Amino acid sequence: MNTHESLFDIDFIEENEENDNDNVHDFINREALLFAIDCSTSMFQKDEDIYPFKFSLKATINFLEKYIIQNHNDFIGILFFSTDKNKNAHDYKNIYIYKNIDVPDSQTILDLEEIEKNNDLFESSIGSSNQVNFSEMLLTISQMFSENIKTVDSKKVLLFTNQDNPIPDSLSKENKTIFNIINDFSFLKILVEPFFLYNAEKPFDFNIFYKDFFESLYADNEEYLTMVSQDISKRLDQLVTKIHQKEIKKRSLFRIPFNISENLAIGIEGFNIVSEQKKNSYIWVDDKSGKVADLSTTWICHDTTQPLFPSDFKYSYIYGGKLVVFTKDELFKIRNFGKPGLTLLGFKPKSKLKFQYNIKHPYFIYPDESQYVGSYSVFAHLLNTMNKMEKIAICNFIPRSNSSPRLVALLPQMEKRDKNNVQISPPGFSVIPLPFADDIRDVKNSACDRASEELDISIGKVINNINNEEGYNPKSINNPYLQKFYLNLQTIALNRDEMEDIQDDTVFKYKMDSNIEELISSVKTHLQLQNKTPVKDVKRKNNDNNNNTQRKKQCSEKGDILKVTSADNLKSYTVVELKNFLSGVNIKPAKKKADLIDQVVEYLKL
């Protein structure tokens, strides 16, 4: 059987870009998260309307509400330490396993919400204490991961505490035990993400204990050590944002060698820095049992109605009006341009990289020590040297097997940190696909009318007055469509009666200063002067000539809607005029005239 398929359907990594997030199975596996929350008495001391324990509990709930829907294949666990009661396999004191690491469910969120609302419920069922053996707490975490989880790609502990020294001076010998357990963490590839909270009793000092703790934990991984945040959270929104930023999955698109020379290669890993977030696909479920259905596809021959096997298929390509037939092996050989990899061809000045060469969105590469030992060091030296010399690298890029080669430019990107020493952007190279000769078009510039100098100056003043110095920050604006979609799912999953309102950050803030309004009026004046051209009325032969003349005269006497002083004056305008006005100010017109008048009144603030 022949299947018509283009030889170059799988041409470059972007060709199937919409499905990239679903198809990168090699690098995106299941994740296990354990929330470890401190329950010592200092976590219950109120300062400026802040209870650190409730603070961390709310952040956990907020995170889980989104996480269980978007990442339904991952595992979640919750551990309380410094508790009055204990609940764990080895009966360690002051350690309470609230939820073993398992697939998350909606009931866990509902139970946490009850604890967050009811202080007495927590005190009676779990309780608070100032005592805990930190090494036993770490042992419990290690055992929870090793006993409950077998096949996950990532293991993380989210640690919430406001205690800078969890080991009292009387138990200084415990330090040695702790650092032995840290070796187990490294062996099991357990990562610890700290979220330090405000302490009303004393300032949090990272250097007392946690500096040595994380330097030992990440002794062989400088990348993770630089990402440990020492920032103290004091606001819920900041804490929630920090958790989500830490737990966004790094979606690897490729892991390939970077061939710097004939005898030198390092490992690199490629990412999409910006990728459209889409809602998860639905799952087929049996309507009787409620179990997830297993889907399978069977190909049937149209002529014989017999099932077809992979060996029965051939592939064809139309050339000169004829079908050229290939076997699967032949097709693979035609598409094969070599092994996947990034090969250095040479260097050019940074100024040679023109803006118009950026024809596809760039990728971002980072060293991958798992392929070649020493990749991190070589990569860092190359990055720093190219940045100092203001050079770009030209490379041949084959991201996957069966991908066609592409010339790319490597643009150095240095690390940036904010005032709290939190990483804003990582160090690495942006991989910018370069155009071939076939991609460049000869576009002729067409002449256009120029605005007057006065109009340029007026519009320039408006732009300067409403200019946002910080610029557009996509990290601060969520997709309202996705927010509403996931909020609907949360409402159903958690059996809530009403859906919460979402904050749409994309809505324009129409309130303006009087100074800006005057500048806009000045621009309108210039535009009206320039567009003022005589319009000849078209005479129509009908029996209502007198009525039409009277209506036109009446319409011209009404003047500009912007100059209307009361709602009663708007009644003389037609529905079409009102709709045209509202459309001109980017407001969706209503259908009825009364509603249209209300919209205009609200806009003009009459």
Least confident of 15-24, 81-90, 478-487: 15-24
Residue 421 has a pLDDT of: 67
> Is 496 inside a domain boundary?
no
Q: Is residue 500 pLDDT above 60, yes or no?
A: yes
Q: Is residue 21 pLDDT above 60, yes or no?
A: no
Give residue for tokens 């969120």: 109
Question: Residue 371 contacts by C-beta under 8 Å, 6 or more apart in sequence?
Answer: 255, 257, 266, 267, 268
Same domain? 229 vs 324 = no
Looking at the chain, the number of H-run helices and the number of E-run strands are 17, 18
Q: Tens of pLDDT along 283-307? A: 787 777 777 788 888 889 888 888 8
Q: Is residue 533 pLDDT above 60, yes or no?
A: no
Q: Is residue 541 pLDDT above 60, yes or no?
A: no
Q: Tens of pLDDT along 168-207? A: 654 455 667 787 788 888 778 888 888 888 777 777 788 8
Residue 236 has a pLDDT of: 54
- Domain extent at residue 420: 1-26+250-279+295-442
**Coil, strand or helix: which one is 154?**
strand
Residue 12 has a pLDDT of: 38
Q: Is residue 86 pLDDT above 50, yes or no?
A: yes
**pLDDT tier at 1 (50, 70, 90 boundaries)?**
low
Q: Could you say which DSSP state residue 606 is in?
A: -
Residue 583 has a pLDDT of: 84
> Is 528 inside a domain boundary?
no
Task: List alpha helices for 195-235, DSSP H.
Answer: 210-217, 222-226
How far, in Å, CA of 472 to CA of 495, rounded? 37
From the list 130, 230, 137, the residue with the least C-alpha distance to 178 is 137
Q: Tens of pLDDT along 566-584? A: 777 888 888 888 888 888 8
Q: Is residue 518 pLDDT above 70, yes or no?
A: yes
Q: Could you say which DSSP state residue 138 is in?
A: H
> Is 499 inside a domain boundary?
no
Higher pLDDT, 258 or 211: 258
Q: Decide if 43 contacts 85 (C-beta within 8 A).
A: no
How far, in Å, CA of 411 to CA of 428, rounded? 8
How far, in Å, CA of 120 to CA of 108, rounded? 18
Domain of 141, CATH number, reads 3.40.50.410
Give residue for tokens 């779990």: 126
Residue 148 has a pLDDT of: 65
Q: Tens of pLDDT along 391-440? A: 999 999 999 887 889 999 999 999 887 776 667 788 999 999 999 988 88
Three-state SS across 533-584?
CCCCCCCCCCCCHHHHHHHHHHHHHHCCHHHCCCCHHHHHCCHHHHHHHHHH
Among candidate residues 376, 408, 442, the one where a domain is terminated: 442
**pLDDT tier at 315 (50, 70, 90 boundaries)?**
confident
**How many domains would you assign to the chain?**
3
**pLDDT tier at 351 (50, 70, 90 boundaries)?**
very high
In the chain, pLDDT over 90 holds for what percent of residues? Answer: 15
Residue 193 has a pLDDT of: 86
Q: Tens of pLDDT along 144-167? A: 888 766 677 788 898 998 888 887
Question: Residue 580 contacts by C-beta under 8 Å, 6 or more apart in sequence?
Answer: none
Same domain? 16 vs 44 = no
Same domain? 230 vs 300 = no
**pLDDT tier at 474 (50, 70, 90 boundaries)?**
confident
Question: Residue 408 contacts by C-beta under 8 Å, 6 or more apart in sequence?
Answer: 342, 394, 395, 396, 397, 431, 432, 433, 434
Give residue for tokens 């296990």: 32
Q: Is residue 549 pLDDT above 70, yes or no?
A: no
Same domain? 126 vs 244 = yes
Same domain? 235 vs 164 = yes
Please give the structure tokens belonging to residue 61: 């709930």
* Cβ neighbour number for residue 32 with a 10 Å cutoff: 22
Q: Decide if 217 contacts 192 (C-beta within 8 A).
A: yes
Highest mean pLDDT among 216-225, 465-474, 565-574: 565-574
> Is 491 inside a domain boundary?
no
Residue 281 has a pLDDT of: 75
**Coil, strand or helix: which one is 288?**
coil
Residue type, 387: N
How far, in Å, CA of 434 to CA of 395, rounded? 10
Least confident of 102-111, 312-321, 541-550: 541-550
**pLDDT tier at 363 (50, 70, 90 boundaries)?**
very high
Same domain? 195 vs 320 = no
Residue 282 has a pLDDT of: 75
CA dist 326 → 312, 320, 334 (Å): 12, 16, 10
> Is 310 inside a domain boundary?
yes
Residue 20 has a pLDDT of: 43
Q: Tens of pLDDT along 455-467? A: 888 888 888 877 7
Same domain? 362 vs 266 = yes
> Is 375 inside a domain boundary?
yes
Least confident of 121-125, 378-382, 488-492, 505-509: 505-509
Q: Is residue 380 pLDDT above 50, yes or no?
A: yes
Residue 384 has a pLDDT of: 95
State the average pLDDT over residues 498-518: 73
> Is 464 inside a domain boundary?
no
Q: Is residue 493 pLDDT above 60, yes or no?
A: yes
Domain of 10, CATH number, reads 2.40.290.10
Answer yes or no: pTM beyond 0.85. Answer: no
State the average pLDDT over residues 487-494: 77
**pLDDT tier at 388 (50, 70, 90 boundaries)?**
very high
Same domain? 244 vs 260 = no
Q: Is residue 378 pLDDT above 70, yes or no?
A: yes
Residue 27 has a pLDDT of: 44
From the list 79, 78, 177, 105, the residue with the least C-alpha distance to 136 is 177
14-20: which pairs have CB atoms within 8 A and are 24 or more residues apart? 14/360, 14/361, 14/433, 20/251, 20/253, 20/272, 20/275
Q: Mean pLDDT across the chain, nearest whole number? A: 78
Q: What is the CA radius of gyration of the chain?
A: 32
Same domain? 302 vs 316 = yes
Q: Tens of pLDDT along 41-84? A: 888 887 666 788 888 888 888 888 877 776 667 788 999 999 99
User: At 259, phi and psi to the nearest 5?
Assistant: -85, 100
Least confident of 84-98, 132-146, 236-250, 541-555: 541-555
Same domain? 306 vs 242 = no
Least confident of 116-125, 170-179, 597-606: 170-179
Same domain? 97 vs 162 = yes
Question: Residue 249 contacts by C-beta under 8 Å, 6 or more apart in sequence?
Answer: 28, 31, 71
Residue 229 has a pLDDT of: 62
Q: Is residue 7 pLDDT above 70, yes or no?
A: no
Among candidate residues 401, 427, 442, the one where a domain is terminated: 442
Among candidate residues 403, 419, 442, the one where a domain is terminated: 442
Same domain? 206 vs 133 = yes
> Is 414 inside a domain boundary?
yes
**Coil, strand or helix: which one is 87?**
strand
